[in-house]
Structure 1
Amino acid sequence: MDIVNKLKKELLKQAFTEEQKQTERLNECKHIASIYAQTENAIAVLSDMKANISYIYYGGVAEKLGLAERNTAKTIQSIWEEEIFSRIHPDDLQEKHLQELRFFHFLKSVPEKKRPDYYLIHNMRMRDHSGRYVHILHRMFYIASHSNGSVWLSLCLYNFSMDTSLSCTILNSADGQTLELEKQNCNDLLSDREKEILQLINKGKMSKDIAQTLSISINTVNRHRQNILEKLQVNNSIEACRIAKELHLL
């Protein structure tokens, strides 16, 4: 799934610096994740974007789903918890990654100190131990950033959902404000010229036609096309237009 590659690249390509008390802060966040798992019976996943490592803590939800025994934990060498992802309904998994990409870019516009106030919440379907899909509430927090603005630690929580009508929403836990994620876009992913070219591609225009329309060379058009594919992490123009529409770039 191309959106997966895009999200992973956005998270892992960030520039990280050596920070004072980094180990202390990591241990604090690991403790927070373990407490969530114990008190809410949640599956809590703390992901370290700098080290590309995840710390997973299992509560009663994990036992019910057949993933692990409650009050256990493990560490994996990836920010991608494939064992959990493999249980999520394919349609919901694609939506999850897309919304997380939107959320990541939304937080880039938020002052570092206020980022932990915001979290993403939405419903999804996951298979239990019998293969039956059950409703799960997923919450995602970016709970620590580096001084240069790079997002460092994320916390994902999985609980059984009591209200399946909840739509994908950003909540500010400090003031109760809610934001509709569909209205948050990723405009900074592409330059204005790249969006202009992609709009013409979406209309079926070839590079030669685009060059004439914009009064630029074909080489320039092709360079922009290649940049678009790389930024959206897709293999062709059809996929680029599809992902761009999902991200409200078209």
Structure 2
Amino acid sequence: MIINNHFIDYRMDTREILNKEFSAQDFAKELPYAEMLNRYKDIACNYARMENAIAVLSDLRTNTSYLYYGGFAQMLDSGKCGTEGKVSSIWEEEIFSFIHPDDLADKHLQELCFFHFVKRQPKKRRAHYYLTSKLRMRNGTNSYIPAVHRIFYISAPTDDTLWLALCLYTPLLFDLPSKCLIVNSTNGQMEELDKQNNAKILSGREKQVLSLINKGLTSKEIAGILSVSIHTVSRHRQEILGKLQVKNSIEACRVGKELGMI
């Protein structure tokens, strides 16, 4: 139970971070959101029909999700094969209930890491990438079967925000070379989603400062250890908060640990 509780807490912490980072985005107020949303809803629906996938389109701006249940839902015995739904949340809890708890914890952390990866890409290249990962989902006989989860982040048309997230759940038809991969769909290149990608968010010096902050040191003490001025330490602190999109050092340390920086 201790292990299970650890994973539940870990999952919730990661979801809280994702919620904060999604909501902190500065979405434009006047855009043809409705027209574009309908276009992407059609795309999600077609994935469900053509791939028999369970497709979830989440609107990060309005905290709403649209669910489309293809043939894979019948394997899970969800009773919703061929149906559609809408929930006032970006978290598809009903689908999460079929995912192995350990894999669900990993899934949320992977999405957080991939969110940072996509945000670092030039806007014109963001649509090139999606994340694919293996997980276990419970079927109608209460056995876990291998499945694949893919996620695409979709940018808003006129600003720097990531507006939509499209998640697809399908059976695992062939084994993947790694549990979790970033795929460039334009050239087929794949790379593992690991801590090295996320470590690039902060500079080497910023990671040093964050590590010392995590140990409870004051700016004056950090300045003495690194042989720099307090002003320089303060500047590094502000850069860390901005890059990790958090409001204080406590949150920065928590995100840093989640992303493997400290």
- Map Cα deviations across residues 113-160 of structure 1 (whole Å, 9 max, x no partner): 322221000101111222211111001111342412100111100000
Does the Cα contact within 8 Å between 2:27 and 2:159 map onto a contact in 1? yes
TM-score with structure 1 setting the length: 0.82
Report the CA distance shift for 1:211/1:86 in structure 2 as closer, same or farther (over 3 A): farther
Query: What SS class does the counterpart of residue 211 from structure 2 fall into?
Result: helix
Q: Which amino acid letter does the alignment assign opposite residue 51 of structure 1?
A: T
How far residue 52 of structure 1 moved from its aligned partner, in angstroms, is 0.6
Question: Would you say 1:227 and 2:248 are equivalent positions?
Answer: yes
Aligned partner of 1:106 in structure 2 is 117
More moved, 42-51 vs 139-148:
139-148
Aligned counterparts of 1:109 and 1:102: Cα–Cα separation in 2: 11
Does the Cα contact within 8 Å between 1:6 and 1:231 map onto a contact in 2? no
How far residue 40 of structure 1 moved from its aligned partner, in angstroms, is 0.7
| Aligned with residue 150 of structure 2, among 139, 151, 169 | 139
Aligned counterparts of 2:61 and 2:126: Cα–Cα separation in 1: 18
| Aligned with residue 40 of structure 1, among 31, 51, 61 | 51
- Map Cα deviations across residues 216-246 of structure 1 (whole Å, 9 max, x no partner): 88xx99xx699232235xxxxxxx3xx6355
Structure 1: state its 5+ residue gaps.
233-239
Does the Cα contact within 8 Å between 1:43 and 1:58 map onto a contact in 2? yes
Q: Which amino acid letter does the alignment assign opposite residue 44 of structure 1?
A: A
More moved, 32-41 vs 128-137:
128-137
| Aligned with residue 207 of structure 2, among 173, 195, 201 | 195
Higher RCO structure (Cα 8 Å, ≥6 apart): 1
| Aligned with residue 256 of structure 2, among 240, 244, 247 | 244
Structure 2: state its 5+ residue gaps.
1-11, 242-246
RMSD of aligned Cα (Å): 2.8
Question: Would you say 1:29 and 2:52 are equivalent positions?
Answer: no
Does the Cα contact within 8 Å between 1:48 and 1:79 map onto a contact in 2? yes
Q: How many residues align?
A: 235
- Map Cα deviations across residues 87-135 of structure 1 (whole Å, 9 max, x no partner): 2112211211111111111111222232222100010111122221111
Which ranges of 4 or more aligned residues in structure 1 deviate by more than 4 Å?
Answer: 190-194, 204-212, 214-217
Question: Would you say 1:184 and 2:205 are equivalent positions?
Answer: no
TM-score with structure 2 setting the length: 0.78
Q: Which amino acid letter does the alignment assign opposite residue 94 of structure 2?
A: E
Aligned partner of 1:11 in structure 2 is 22
Question: Would you say 1:148 and 2:169 are equivalent positions?
Answer: no
Query: What SS class does the counterpart of residue 173 from structure 2 fall into?
Result: coil
How far residue 194 of structure 1 moved from its aligned partner, in angstroms, is 6.0
